[in-house]
Amino acid sequence: MTPTQAGPTSAATRTDAALAAALATVRANIATFGGGYPDDTTRHGVYPPRPATATLPEGANRGWTTSFWPGMLWLAWELTGDDAFRLAATSHVASFAERVDQQIDLDTHDLGFLYTLGCVAPWRLVADERARSAALGAADHLMTRFLEPAGIVQAWGGLDDPGQRGRTIIDSLMNMPLLYWASEQTGDERYAAAARRHAAQLRDHIIRPDGTTFHTFWWDPATGAPLHGSTQQGYTDDSCWARGQAWGIYGFALNYRYARDESFLDAARVCADYFLAHLPTDGVAYWDLDFTDGDDQPRDSSAAAIAVCGLTELAGWLPDGPLRDHYRSHAETILTSLATGYSTATHPESNALLLHGVYDWPGAVGVDEGTLWGDYFYLEALARAVLPERTLYW
């Protein structure tokens, strides 16, 4: 991929137009979604309500993606100062507090995604005490998933589930900021120590020698020995799932932000270098990095949006110079490509912000659709571009 040659004015104009379109969609979705939660992905470009389960009604706060909606609302408030966004965002705190208080669907490492955006953001932005308390409750619950002697946070399933015990996944790096935040808030070092050990285990085992990553990796829960990698949402166990690689860029860079361990920044660079070297011409990754120009496979715009945020975070920790410029320039190129070729700015029939994401190709779920997290990270990427000094929620 060649970084864009467009001048700063044209890039800024394109970003402004993309941002205006995205904010208009978020505003319209306040009424569309009401007090409930949309599903993980669109269907034919439109988000249906989150389906009911045997115990929870339609639109309930369950699953791993609900916080991306209030996350978008908080970003929209920061970007506009319009209280309609702040009021809508604040209204979700009660649901996240109830979810952790009543232990609804908490058997997951995704508590970091959920409570960083659902509750740490309102604590950081408007000092919402109920949100702080709920986020600390979620951090405590996440700590119950930290397995000794392996030193990892189990990703999925109950802790007594033999099919999941000892397994973690690269996405989990994004859930560690909740633990660093809990240490900052409480003065209890245990949360941050667990996060550092978990990130170090992934640095040592989930990254392969060639700079690709496994989606998931297993440890022996009894001895703590590292066992083997496998995939869940990638093409094969040996391929490089694009979103996983993007989680690696952003997740390791965020772990560096808090732990200040240089090896985490190096790990983010390893993930970034492979990701950037395996992009198609327009800079928006195919859903698995084994595919490239000419392959009859869908893109994953969400991987691209996450990578933009990760590259920007990574660049921010590097000294002034060509390397920092290299990552920044690629982030700008990918963001411009998303805004001009993948956003819904010219697709008013969709209520997503980005088209052409992939949730789970092997499972045939959400293929070539909008995704809640892709929309969130696209808006975060735009916010990073226009408000570089803003407080990060992670």
Q: How far is the CB of 32 from ligand GLY (least distance, A)?
A: 23
End-to-end CA distance of the chain: 29
Q: Residues 337-376: x/- map of binding to ligand GLY (CB under 6 A)?
A: ----------------------x-----------------
Helix (H) or strand (E) holding 76: helix 68-80
Decide: is 128 part of the binding site for ligand GLY (CB under 6 A).
Answer: no
Residue 208 burial (CB < 10 Å; 0-12/13-18/19+)? middle
Looking at the Cβ atoms of 4 and 67, the one nearer to ligand GLY is 67
> Which residues within the stretch 162-181 sit at the binding site for ligand GLY (CB under 6 A)?
171
Tokens at 39, concatenated: 């599903």
Looking at the Cβ atoms of 171 and 375, the one nearer to ligand GLY is 171
Q: How far is the CB of 373 from ligand GLY (least distance, A)?
A: 7
171 is catalytic: yes
Which of the following is catalytic: 39, 40, 105, 171?
A: 171
Q: Where are the beta strands (DSSP E) in 261-378?
A: 357-360, 365-369
Looking at the Cβ atoms of 233 and 312, the one nearer to ligand GLY is 233
Q: Residue 163 and residue 149: Cα distance in Å, rounded?
A: 18
Looking at the Cβ atoms of 211 and 357, the one nearer to ligand GLY is 357
Q: Residue 152 and residue 169: Cα distance in Å, rounded?
A: 10
Q: How far is the CB of 40 from ligand GLY (least distance, A)?
A: 8
Kindly state the DSSP code that residue 120 receives in the 8-state scheme: I
Minimal CB distance residue for ligand GLY: 171
Q: How far is the CB of 113 from ligand GLY (least distance, A)?
A: 7
Q: Residue 149 and residue 358: Cα distance in Å, rounded?
A: 35
Task: Note whether 347 and 220 are within 8 A (CB).
Answer: no
Q: How far is the CB of 35 from ligand GLY (least distance, A)?
A: 25
Looking at the Cβ atoms of 19 and 72, the one nearer to ligand GLY is 72
**Preceding omega of 70 cis (within 30 degrees of 0):** no
Task: Note whether 124 and 393 are within 8 A (CB).
Answer: yes
266 is catalytic: no
Residues that bind ligand GLY (rule: CB under 6 A) add up to a total of 4
Total residue count of the chain as it appears in this document = 394
Decide: is 243 part of the binding site for ligand GLY (CB under 6 A).
Answer: yes
Q: How far is the CB of 62 from ligand GLY (least distance, A)?
A: 15
> Which residues within the stretch 202-241 sit at the binding site for ligand GLY (CB under 6 A)?
233
Which of the following is catalytic: 39, 40, 105, 110?
A: 110
Q: Residue 221 and residue 151: Cα distance in Å, rounded?
A: 10
Decide: is 300 part of the binding site for ligand GLY (CB under 6 A).
Answer: no
CA dihedral 363, 367, 373, 376 (to 10 degrees): 180
**Which residue ranges make up the site for ligand GLY (CB under 6 A)?**
171, 233, 243, 359
Active-site positions? 110, 171
